[in-house]
Structure 1
């Protein structure tokens, strides 16, 4: 299965929320239930700052939520491994580029 090139934050948020046992109402300290619902339906777009807030409520690292947005839903192990390999290679390349 191919990695997604365009993010699907809505399904990723819904998937993470379900896996973590978090309701839309549980985001009340950082967002309204309506806003979370709109995000999940793709009617709104979140800033990185908002992803930070939502991730905190989910008890997940923001990079986990972001990565989940670029995986098929539900995610499969092969797609996860491919995405992690791509991220690892890109981060390694970036981190060593200025240190040669």
Structure 2
């Protein structure tokens, strides 16, 4: 499954879990756009993901990471944990370099 299809499935699942219809995204995105996303026919911009997440009342990273994990056949949350560890290592290394300058 590609990332667009995975994002679409996650979006649909979260929308249905939240008991929202496609029209509920009003200002964030038109119903037809949400439908295309849910079918995996379109890739949303980061800005659009943020707006969609606001309607769903979740962190935008949840949508991104869950879709990424699903597209790779991984357990949801796996990439988030690994990504957080990687980010901490990078930030520590950058801070160390900055302190040396």
TM-score bin, normalised by smaller chain: 0.7 to 0.9
Within 1, Cα distance between the matches of 2:70 and 2:9? 9
TM-score (structure 1 length as normaliser): 0.80
Aligned Cα RMSD in Å? 2.2
Which is helix-richer, 1 or 2?
A: 2
Within 2, Cα distance between the matches of 1:16 and 1:65? 9
Q: Structure 1, unaligned stretches of length 5 or more?
A: none
By relative contact order (CA 8 Å, sep 6+), the higher-ranking structure is 1
TM-score (structure 2 length as normaliser): 0.79
2:10·2:63 contact (CA, 8 Å) conserved in 1? yes
Q: Which aligned segments of 4 or more residues in structure 1 are displaced greater than 2 angstroms? A: 80-85
May I ask how many residue pairs the two structures share in their alignment?
A: 93
1:35 corresponds, among 27, 33, 36, to 33
Q: Structure 2, unaligned stretches of length 5 or more?
A: 97-101
